[in-house]
């Protein structure tokens, strides 16, 4: 039960559905309700496909590059720690949001579902890294099913949140959404440190 909660919390914090609300609202400003709904459905579906693809090819890439799981855990923990710092201080970097140039490019697009919604806002570096950190080449089928099931649960929550963007902003406002993101960033900081410590411990045991 605790393991399932930890996995769910990691995905929820990294994808940060509430934090996506102000960005999604800005990207679809002036658009119709049907357009927002279409972009939300398509963006989440594409993000799910990208993350699934990454699961199947990720460990193969690590093997080709000769990168061990302990090293990846440490590197992934550091990446998530940087992401957490961005969340706590409400910084906008390419890790969890679009850069200024990417945002300007996105405003000129009729379809934002692939870029920037699916990548990098939903299926960003943090989500991909977290997904691999939850598994290993020897992961049992039941655990894989648990991880993927919880991932799709968080993606489902993300879809519901995106579809409710207007209502959420009316209730919380952008400031409220940023407060929630900061709190989630604190939790992610602790999770990131745990990944680093686990990587160090596993590496020392391995050697």
Written as six digits, the tokens of 108 are 């000129």
Most confident of 72-76, 99-103, 141-145, 148-152: 148-152
Q: At what angle do helices 17-27 and 33-65 cross, to 10 degrees?
A: 120
Name the one residue in this structure whose structure tokens are 């709904």. 37
Residues 57-101 have pLDDT tens digits of: 988 888 898 888 888 889 888 988 888 888 888 766 555 555 566
Residues 97-125 have pLDDT tens digits of: 555 665 565 555 578 999 889 998 999 88
pTM for this one? 0.84
Tell me, what's the pLDDT at 103?
59
């Amino acid at each position: 039960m605790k393991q399932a909660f930890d996995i769910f919390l990691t995905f929820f914090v990294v994808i940060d559905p509430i934090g996506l609300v102000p960005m999604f609202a800005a990207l679809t400003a002036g658009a119709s309700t049907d357009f927002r709904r279409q972009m939300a459905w398509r963006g989440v579906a594409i993000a799910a496909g990208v993350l699934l693809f990454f699961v199947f090819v990720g460990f193969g890439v690590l093997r080709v590059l000769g990168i061990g799981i302990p090293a990846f855990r440490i590197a992934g923990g550091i990446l998530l720690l940087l992401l957490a710092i961005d969340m706590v201080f409400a910084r906008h970097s390419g890790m969890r949001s679009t850069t200024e140039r990417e945002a300007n490019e996105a405003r000129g697009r009729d379809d934002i579902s692939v870029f920037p919604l699916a990548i990098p806002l939903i299926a960003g570096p943090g989500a991909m890294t977290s997904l691999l950190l939850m598994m290993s080449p020897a992961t049992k089928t039941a655990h894989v099913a648990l991880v993927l099931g919880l991932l799709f649960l968080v993606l489902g929550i993300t879809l519901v949140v995106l579809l409710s963007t207007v209502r959420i902003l009316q209730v919380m406002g952008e400031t409220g959404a940023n407060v929630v993101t900061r709190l989630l960033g604190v939790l992610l900081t602790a999770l990131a440190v745990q990944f680093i410590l686990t990587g160090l411990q596993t590496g020392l045991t391995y050697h």
